[in-house]
Structure 1
Amino acid sequence: MKKTLTAVALVALATASSSALAHPGAGAHTHGFLQGFAHPFTGLDHLLAMLAVGAWSVRQPNAKWLPATFVGMLLIGMASGALGLSIPGLETGIGLTVALLGVLLVAAVRLPAAAGAVMVGVFAVLHGNAHGHELPQAISAAGLLAASLLLVYGGSLLGRVSPALAVKASGAAIAATGVMLAATA
């Protein structure tokens, strides 16, 4: 029953999301906390990256703090985007982060804690920069960070309760989606 509920939850989240709505091409808008909170749920790339970071982190040795690292670096990336820093190839980079996170899940890759933190931090800065361009106001950023915490720690919970095969299958779908996103960026 747990396997079925996990699969249904992942499919529901994926189908409720649309790709690339959080990216700088759309231009900044004035939004409040609720719009910021909803934002990560509406971009398939961000949704999958955050869930994947959480799921991957629980399978890493001595790295239970990876979700917090991701969220902290997401904030730094958001600040860089809000301040107008443009990262060349951002869309492609974001798609590739999703693909690589999926591969890490499929292959059950274990990295030293420091290497995992650096990688997750770089990924978070890219995702945060895109969000910072779209939601530069502090109140919407607070909503986005709250939702990001839920998604990353929700991914951790899914990674803990899901059988290894289900995590690997999810990783394959995430990797394929990331490749598609990178190819269409």
Structure 2
Amino acid sequence: MKKTIAALALAATSTAALAHTGAGVHTHGFLQGFAHPFTGLDHLLAMLAVGAWSVRQPNAKWLPATFIGMVMAGMASGAMGLTIPGLETGIALTVALMGVLIAVAVRLPAAAGAVMVGAFALLHGNAHGHELPQASSAAGLLLASALLVYGGYLLGRVSPALALKVSGAAIAAIGVMLAATA
């Protein structure tokens, strides 16, 4: 339970990501790209949640890698100018849905889980691709994203089931609040 409280406290200190369309393109390098996912509550929670949820999925230890690969594809689409309607709301809803999946311990077939996680990652990556299209900042962002997803995976492995469910409920509630303000 202490680990869950510590993780939630860390998440609560994050601010809105502003890695989304309308925030403007930045010419930052590797370190700014690396720091970016840690400063946005929506991205931080989504990545941790994907990792934690994937632990409890049957035959899906590769879900974190799928998420990172699709974040990269989404970043490329954003850097090329593809605009996804409702992106802000969609990102917030991914946080809410991941929280619900953790809270109620939903288990999906491996293919369905991969498609869902891939779609979520595409949204998150697209938002980042609009703001951080440079290769150096994208590399930093991908490394940080991988650390967060695999960090969530490790938290999911060591957390008791009840603590994970409570964390999922908190993530879902934050996702709903983010969607309401998107």
**How high is the TM-score relative to the length of structure 1?**
0.96
Q: 1:87-126 counterparts in 2 under 5 A?
A: 87-126=84-123
The equivalent position to 2:143 in structure 1, one of 138, 143, 146, is 146
Question: Does 1:32 pair with 2:29?
Answer: yes
Find the counterpart in structure 1 of residue 15 from structure 2. Answer: 18
**Range that drifts further, 10-19 or 105-114:** 10-19
Please give the secondary structure, in 1, of the residue aligned with 2:22: helix
Stretches of structure 1 lacking an aligned partner (at least 5 in a row): none
In structure 2, give the amino acid aligned to 1:28: V
Which 4+ residue blocks in structure 1 deviate beyond 6 angstroms? none
Q: CA deviation at 1:8?
A: 4.3
Question: Does 1:45 pair with 2:42?
Answer: yes
Please give the secondary structure, in 2, of the residue aligned with 1:24: coil
CA distance in 2, matches of 1:11, 1:125: 25
In structure 1, give the amino acid aligned to 2:131: E
Find the counterpart in structure 2 of residue 55 from structure 1. Answer: 52
Question: Does 1:183 pair with 2:165?
Answer: no
Find the counterpart in structure 2 of residue 75 from structure 1. Answer: 72
Find the counterpart in structure 1 of residue 152 from structure 2. Answer: 155
Q: How many residue pairs were aligned? A: 182
Q: CA deviation at 1:21?
A: 2.0
In structure 2, give the amino acid aligned to 1:183: A
Identity across matched positions, percent: 82
CA distance in 2, matches of 1:104, 1:8: 19
CA distance in 1, matches of 2:150, 2:102: 16
CA distance in 2, matches of 1:56, 1:127: 17
Q: CA deviation at 1:83?
A: 0.6
Please give the secondary structure, in 1, of the residue aligned with 2:28: coil
Please say if residues 8 and 167 of structure 2, whose CA atoms lie closer than 8 Å, have aligned partners that are also in contact: no
CA distance in 1, matches of 2:157, 2:74: 28
Stretches of structure 2 lacking an aligned partner (at least 5 in a row): none
Q: CA deviation at 1:16?
A: 2.8
Q: CA deviation at 1:23?
A: 1.3
The equivalent position to 1:136 in structure 2, one of 133, 138, 143, is 133
**Range that drifts further, 168-177 or 15-24:** 15-24
Please give the secondary structure, in 2, of the residue aligned with 1:141: helix
Question: Does 1:7 pair with 2:1?
Answer: no
**How high is the TM-score relative to the length of structure 2?**
0.98
In structure 2, give the amino acid aligned to 1:151: L
